[in-house]
C-alpha cells in the first residue's frame, strides 16, 4: 500500500514537472521587433546607434553596474562571446544605467562583447518583450534571425545554460 502511494506521489511530481517545463517553454515566445529599432549610446560614442540584428543569433543581456549578479556573470558572458562570435552567436549587453557608471565599469573590466547604454529606457525595452514583467535584472534573452525570442533567463545565467542555448538553436 505504501509503495503505491509512493509511486503515485512520484508520478504526480513527474507530471507536474513536465507540465511546468512545457508551460514555461510556451511562455518564452516573444519578439523584440518593437524595440529592434531603438537607438542607444555606446560607451565611447556620442552618436546613438542600433543593435545589428538579422545576420546571426544574438544573446541580449540586460544589466546594470549596481546589480551584483549582473557583474558576476559579465566575465562569463564576455568569454562566451569570444568563443562563439565566429560561429554565428554574438552577445550584446544593454545597460540600464548611466553613461558615467558604464564607462567607469568598462575601464575597470575587460569586456569583449558590445555594450549599449539604454538608461531608464532599458526597462521599457524589457517590458516590450512581455517576458520580464517585473523588470528583474539580470535578464537575458536569445534572439534568432527573425527577431523572435526563443529563450529567456530572469536572474543570473550560467555557462551551462548558454551552452544549452547555443546547441539548441538553428543557425
Q: Please indicate, yes or no, whether residues 132 and 91 belong to a single structural domain of this protein.
A: yes
* Domain shared by 47 and 17, yes or no: no
105-130: per-residue pLDDT in tens?
Answer: 999 999 999 999 998 888 888 888 88
By the 8 A CB rule, do 150 and 28 touch? Answer: yes
pLDDT tens profile 80-99: 999 999 999 999 999 999 99
Torsion, Cα of 126, 131, 136, 137 (10° steps): -60
Beta strands at 89-95 and 114-117: parallel, antiparallel or unpaired = parallel
Q: In this structure, are 59 and 102 located in the same domain?
A: yes
**Domain that residue 22 falls in:** 1-30
55 and 127, same domain (yes or no):
yes
Do the strands 148-154 and 139-143 form a parallel or antiparallel pair, or are they unpaired? antiparallel
Report the length, in residues, of the chain: 171
Pair 40, 122 in one domain = yes
Residue 36: per-residue pLDDT: 67
32-70: pLDDT as tens digits: 766 666 777 777 777 878 788 767 899 999 999 999 999
Residue 103 and residue 50 share a domain: yes
Q: Which residue has the cell 543581456?
A: 61
**Domains in the chain: how many in total?**
2
21 & 63 share domain? no
Please name the residue that has the C-alpha cell 521599457.
124
Q: Which residue has the cell 542600433?
A: 50
Amino acid at each position: 500500500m505504501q509503495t503505491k502511494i509512493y509511486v503515485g506521489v512520484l508520478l504526480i511530481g513527474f507530471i507536474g514537472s513536465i507540465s511546468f517545463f512545457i508551460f514555461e517553454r510556451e511562455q518564452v515566445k516573444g519578439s523584440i521587433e518593437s524595440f529592434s529599432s531603438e537607438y542607444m549610446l555606446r560607451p565611447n560614442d556620442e552618436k546613438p546607434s542600433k543593435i545589428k540584428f538579422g545576420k546571426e543569433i544574438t544573446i541580449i543581456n540586460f544589466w546594470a553596474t549596481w546589480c551584483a549578479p549582473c557583474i558576476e556573470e559579465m566575465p562569463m558572458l564576455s568569454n562566451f562571446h569570444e568563443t562563439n562570435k565566429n560561429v554565428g552567436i554574438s552577445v550584446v549587453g544593454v545597460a540600464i544605467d548611466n553613461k558615467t557608471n558604464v564607462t567607469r565599469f568598462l575601464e575597470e573590466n575587460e569586456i569583449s562583447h558590445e555594450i549599449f547604454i539604454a538608461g531608464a529606457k532599458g526597462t521599457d525595452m524589457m517590458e516590450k518583450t512581455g517576458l520580464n514583467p517585473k523588470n528583474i535584472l539580470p535578464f537575458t534573452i536569445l534572439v534568432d534571425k527573425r527577431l523572435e525570442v526563443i529563450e529567456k533567463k530572469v536572474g543570473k545565467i550560467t555557462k551551462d545554460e548558454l551552452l544549452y542555448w547555443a546547441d539548441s538553436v538553428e543557425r
